[in-house]
Amino acid sequence: ALPSKVRIVEVGPRDGLQNEPGQLSLEDKKQLIEMLAGAGLSHIEVGSFVSPRWVPQMADTGELFAKLARKEGVLYSALTPNLKGLEGALAAKAGEVAVFGAASETFSQTNINCSIVESMERFAPVVDKARAAGLKVRGYVSCVLGCPYEGDIAPAQVARVAQDLWDMGCDEISLGDTIGVGTPLRTQALIEAVAAVVPVEKLAVHFHDTYGMAIANIHQALLLGVAVVDAAVAGLGGCPYAKGASGNVATEDLVYLLNGLGVEHGVDLGRLCEAGWFISERLGRQPTSKVSQALKGR
């Protein structure tokens, strides 16, 4: 059955902007995040504490946290692949951190320069320290429905990685269809396999929309009881280590779906669209969201 309420995790400032070729100004990033909070989003992924040589677009995350006018009740989070990243997040007073692993060996090597087993060894102290500091920790699993290097990934393999992150102490597991190849039936098999080892209310779904299936997959996940959904305003996004992967599902499209389903989410669609047009204009393009384009044309 559908959940009565969904928590939207807005990943545009991180997943979206990490993949932009040019460097967006700190002022523009700050304004985007403040507009998103103003639209009612209660969880915003601000950036990543990662190597600036690997992802230069996220190098100003600490500064961005420092400049941000934080809104009461909004959770501002960041990616932290190792203890150095966690130090940055703690100094920045992030409200939640995320470790990010993968269900594919090759992707793990390409994205974070270590094997899946090594990644778990690196994440464990990050999770312990973050929790000791009172922070919640999200655990991402990438390539849950396919890998750019290895092709299909078995649900059982995803479940193993998700369970390791859960056993380690992650509070929530976000399942990433990094290259957006999933379809609803495969989404169902995935959620069923993972929900057998992690409570379904602790799962989030994270769909990239490369093949235009994200909304259909999200609907399927909702029907199975998932109530946390990641999305990026204007459909920004991708992954620098997954060639050909396009943006996340657009938050505008997700909000329109939830409105149609009568599921609560707390976001003002008009103000959200404004944030999407703002950032898209800065990037010299249009939002990928059909909802946003349709509403603008009215």
Catalogue the active-site residues. 239
Nearer to ligand HMG, 18 or 288 (CB): 18
The one of ligand HMG, Mg ion, none whose footprint includes residue 55, by CB under 5 to 8 A per kind, is: ligand HMG
Q: What's the closest the beta carbon of residue 18 comes to Mg ion, in angstroms?
A: 9
Q: What's the closest the beta carbon of residue 123 comes to ligand HMG, in angstroms?
A: 11
Asked whether position 113 contacts ligand HMG by CB under 6 A, the answer is yes
Q: Which of residues 149-208 bind ligand HMG (CB under 6 A)?
A: 176, 178, 206, 208
CB 207 within 8 A of CB 136: no
Q: Which of residues 5-34 bind ligand HMG (CB under 6 A)?
A: 15, 18
Q: What's the closest the beta carbon of residue 206 comes to Mg ion, in angstroms?
A: 6
The one of Mg ion, ligand HMG, none whose footprint includes residue 51, by CB under 5 to 8 A per kind, is: ligand HMG
Contacting residue, 142, 157, 187, 292, with ligand HMG by CB under 6 A: 142
CB atoms within 10 A of CB 21: 7
Asked whether position 140 contacts ligand HMG by CB under 6 A, the answer is yes
Nearer to Mg ion, 102 or 275 (CB): 102
Residue type, 214: A
Residues that bind Mg ion (CB under 5 A): 15
Residue 293 main-chain phi, psi, to 5 deg = -65, -40
Cβ-proximal residues to 256 (8 Å cutoff; 6+ apart), any chain:
269, 291
Q: Categorise residue 176: left if φ over 0, alpha if ψ from -120 to 50, beta otherwise.
A: beta
Give buried/exposed letters for 167-205 (b at 16+ CB in 10 A, else e): ebebebbbbbbbbbbbeeebbbebbebbbebbebebbbb
Nearer to Mg ion, 15 or 164 (CB): 15
Q: How many residues bind ligand HMG (CB under 6 A)?
A: 25
Extract the runs of DSSP E, i.e. beta strands, from the chain.
7-10, 43-48, 75-79, 96-102, 136-142, 172-177, 203-207, 228-231
The one of Mg ion, ligand HMG, none whose footprint includes residue 276, by CB under 5 to 8 A per kind, is: none
How, if at all, do strands 7-10 and 228-231 pair? parallel
- Look up tokens 């639209």; give the residue: 39
Residue type, 3: P
Nearer to ligand HMG, 12 or 273 (CB): 12
Structure-block tokens of residue 48: 């990543």
Structure-block tokens of residue 95: 């409200």
Asked whether position 119 contacts ligand HMG by CB under 6 A, the answer is no
Q: What's the closest the beta carbon of residue 32 comes to ligand HMG, in angstroms?
A: 17
x-marked contacts with ligand HMG along 34-73 as a string, rule CB under 6 A = --------------xxxx--xx------------------
Give the closest residue to 12 by CA, choosing from 39, 32, 40. 32
Asked whether position 110 contacts ligand HMG by CB under 6 A, the answer is no
Binding site for ligand HMG (CB under 6 A): 15, 18, 48-51, 54-55, 79, 81-82, 84-85, 100, 111-113, 140, 142, 176, 178, 206, 208, 239, 241
